Amino acid sequence: MSLADENKAQLLDRLAAESGVAVVVVDENSNEVAAANNNSMCRLLYPSADFGPFCAEYCGKAFKRATAAGKAIEYECYAGLKCRATPVGKQHVAILGRAFETSDNYRRATDKAINGDWRRFRPTEFFDNVIISGSAATLERAERELDVSVTDLLEGIEKQPKRGRVRTPEPEPQIIETPPIAEPQQQRPDPLESSLLNYKLPAEDTPSPVSEGRPDPFETSMVNAKIDLSGVLVDQDLADREAWRAFIPTLLKVSYRLACRRILEFLARHYGIQSSLWLQREGQQFEMAAAIGDLEDQPVRIEIPVDDKRIRAAVRDDSPIVLKELQTESGKKPRVIQLFPVVIGGEVRNALGIARAEIDPELSARILKFCRYVASRLEILRLRDAVAQQERLSRVLKEFNEQLRNIDSESFWQRLTSIIAQLVDAERASLLIRGSSDMLLAKASIGNQADLSTYPDLGSRVARTILEKGKPALVTDVSKASLSSVSAERSYKTSSFISYPIVFGGTGIGVMNFTDKAGGLRFDKHDLEALDSIAPQIAVALDRIALRDKMGEFAQLSVTDPLTGLLNRRYIEERLSEEINRSDRSGEPLSFLMIDVDEFKSYNDRFGHPAGDEALRVVGSILRQNLRGADVAVRYGGEEFSVLLPNTNTEEAEAIAERIRSHIARTEFPKRQVTVSIGVASRLNGIQSVKDLISAADKALFRAKETGRNLVLVYDPILDGGENVH
C-alpha cells in the first residue's frame, strides 16, 4: 500500500471513528474504492443476488443522483438505514451513514433478520457492526470533516484551505434541584414498554471473532463529542482506543445487567471515576441499572423526565447536567451528580451519573465519547436479554399450562412452584395459601432447607401484609427495609426478595415468595412483569382448589355442570368480571366465544333426551381437548356453551373457534353428525362490560346460525346491530 493509500485509510478510519457512522467512497460505476466502519448488514445484503437489486436502487444510484444534484443528498434505504451521499471532487461520491436513525427501523430490520427474508444470514455476521446513530447533525458533521480532510487524497486535486475548527467554550453546567438521594418508591411496570420485547435478536452470547478485513471494534464508535484531537489529546485518544479494543470483547460475553456494572468498573480503572451509576430509560423516566462506589450503597432516584428540555440541551451541547441533592443533614454539604445523557438511534436510551462536583472538560469529553461508543453495544445486549427473557417466559407458560392438566396430582403445586421460580431465576421460592382462620399454610417450597410448616406464625413478617394489601413487594436490599430481622438458620444468600400476592375476585387467596436470585443479583421490575403475566393462571388454579377444599362437594357442584363436568353460567359471569378488570389494568386483549349446537331440538326429538345428553357430553369433551390451560369452557345452558379466552386477540380467538368447530364436525357421534355455530367477540368496538361482551358474542352467533350454521363469525357492530351491542 502506498503512503497516500495508508494516509487515506487512516483519515477515513479517523473520520468514521469520530462520527460513529460508515464512510464508503464509490466511483461512477458504484464500485467501492474505500470504506471505513461499513455496516455489516450492507456488507452482506449488497453483494447478494436476492437483495443486491434493492440496494442498487439506493446506494447503487448514489453517485448518479449526488453528481446530478451537485450537492449532498439524503435518503433512507429499503433496509431502513439513513444515508448521505456527497460528491468528492469529480470522480467519486462518499456515502456517509448507513446507520439507523430511529430505533423502530432497527427493530423492524432485526425482526426481518430473525423471522423474515434475511434469516438466511448468520446473526453473528449480520449484526457484527450495526450502527444505531444516524442523525442529520451527525451526517452533516461527518460531511464537513470529509470536505476538509480527505478530498485531496481521494481525488488528487489541489488541497483546499481547511476551515479552522474553533473550540467552543464548554457550556455552564445546569443546576437542577432534585429530591434527596434515597431509596425509590416501588412502581409497577409500565405496560407500554412492550415494543422492544417482542423483537427478536441473535441469541448467541459470544460474537464471532474479528477476522482479517473485518472492521476494528473502534470503527463502530457512536462518538460526536467536541474534542480537539491535537497535541497531547491525540495520545489520550489513542490510549482510549486501545483500552476500548481490549474491553469491548469482554463486555459482549456477559448479560446486560452485568455489562452495565462492567462499564462502571471500566470507568473507574481507566478514567479514575470511583463512584458512578448507569441509568436506563424506562418509559419517560430513568431507572438505575448499576452503581459502584458510594452510589452502590444508597440507590438514587433521578427525578428528571427523559424528554425534559434540559436533557435535550445537554445532548446538543455535549455537556452534563448537574443534579443537586435537595435535603441533607444539617451542616452537611449536598451531594452532586453529573448526569451525561447518551443517545442511541435518535433517542436518549441511557445516562451516566458521576458523583463529582466538577469534572475537567477534556475528561468529560473523553468519557462521553466512551459512553456513546459503548452504548450501542449495550443496547444490543439489552435487546438480546429481552428476547431471551421472552423466550423463557413462553417456555415457562407452556410448561405451566401443561401442568394445569395435572392439578389433582400430589406433586402439582411443588412442580408449579419450581417452574415459576425458574421464570425469575429464584433459587428459593414458596407458595403460601390462606387457610382457615386466615392463617397462611405452606403449599409448596423450593430450595428451603427447613420445613416451612414448622415455622411459627408463618408469613407474619411480610407475606400476610402483602396478602391483605393485594400488591406485590419488591425489595432490593432487605437491610434498608423496616423489617424485623430473620433467623440466621434460613441462610439467605442475597438481600433481595419478591413477595407476590395471588388475588382472585378481589380477594387475596395466596402469596408467592422468591429469594436468592441466581448469580447474586437483585430482583427488579422485569421480574414483576414476568409474574404479572402468569398470575391470573395461578389464581384460577388456586381458586379451583379453594372451591374444592373450602366449600366442599356441594359448593363445588354449585359452579359445575353435572352433565358435562364443565363449569356453569354462574361461574363464568363472575370470572368474566374479574378478567375484564384485569384487561383494563394490563391492556391485554380478552375474547369470548358463544357456541350453540346446530338443530339440537330435532336431535332430541328424533333420538331422545339420553342420546342428546350424550351428544352434549361429547361436545364438552372436545372443548376441553382444544383449549389452553388458562382458557375456561362452560356449559352456558341447554345446548349452549361458552369459552373465556384471556390474553387472546380477535384473530387468535377466531382460530381457536375454527379449531373447535372443525373438530366437532369431523367427530362421529352415536346417532348422526353434529355441528356447532360459534360467535366470537373481543374487547373492541366499545365493549366494556360483561353484559356487552356476552351480548356481542351472542349476536355474532345468531348471525352464524342465520347464515347457514356450522360457521364461525366474528362480531361486527355494523352487521350485528349498529354501533352499540345493546
Q: CA 26, CA 95: separation in Å to the nearest integer?
A: 8
Backbone phi, then psi, for 310, in 5-degree steps? -70, -30
**Nearest of 612, 591, 594, 592 to residue 698 by alpha carbon:** 594
* Residue that has been written with the C-alpha cell 386477540 in this structure: 649
- Collapsing DSSP states into helix, strand and coil, what is residue 679? strand
- Collapsing DSSP states into helix, strand and coil, what is residue 518? helix
- On whether the CB atoms of residues 276 and 354 are closer than 8 A, the answer is yes
* Residue that has been written with the C-alpha cell 497531547 in this structure: 232
Beta-carbon contacts of 369 under 8 Å, excluding residues fewer than 6 positions away, are 221, 223, 225, 227, 240
One-letter amino acid of 174: Q
Q: Is 640 a catalytic residue?
A: no
Q: CA 93, CA 102: separation in Å to the nearest integer?
A: 25
Q: Which segments of 513-630 does DSSP mark as H helices, in order?
A: 525-558, 569-586, 600-607, 609-626
Q: In Å, what is the CA distance from 421 to each residue of 397, 416, 451?
A: 12, 9, 18
**Torsion, CA 179, CA 181, CA 186, CA 190, rounded to 10:** 70
* Residue that has been written with the C-alpha cell 355441528 in this structure: 675
Q: CA 159, CA 152: separation in Å to the nearest integer?
A: 5
**Nearest of 659, 646, 705 to residue 679 by alpha carbon:** 705
One-letter amino acid of 624: R
Backbone phi, then psi, for 499, in 5-degree steps? -120, 120
Q: CA 407, CA 540: separation in Å to the nearest integer?
A: 11
- Collapsing DSSP states into helix, strand and coil, what is residue 507? strand
Sheet holding 473-475, edge to edge: 440-446, 426-434, 507-517, 497-504, 473-475
Question: Which one is catalytic: 219, 325, 579, 639?
Answer: 639
**Nearest of 205, 329, 181, 196 to residue 259 by alpha carbon:** 205
Q: CA 528, CA 365: separation in Å to the nearest integer?
A: 38
Residue 232, C-alpha cell as written in the block:
497531547
For 104-220, list the strands marked E by DSSP: 174-178
β-bridge mates for residue 286, sequence order? 281
**Nearest of 603, 616, 597 to residue 677 by alpha carbon:** 597
Q: CA 374, CA 349: separation in Å to the nearest integer?
A: 12
**Nearest of 324, 288, 281 to residue 179 by alpha carbon:** 324
**Nearest of 380, 383, 371 to residue 20 by alpha carbon:** 371
Q: Which segments of 93-198 does DSSP mark as H helices, in order?
A: 103-115, 123-126, 136-149, 151-155
β-bridge mates for residue 429, sequence order? 446, 514
Active-site positions? 639
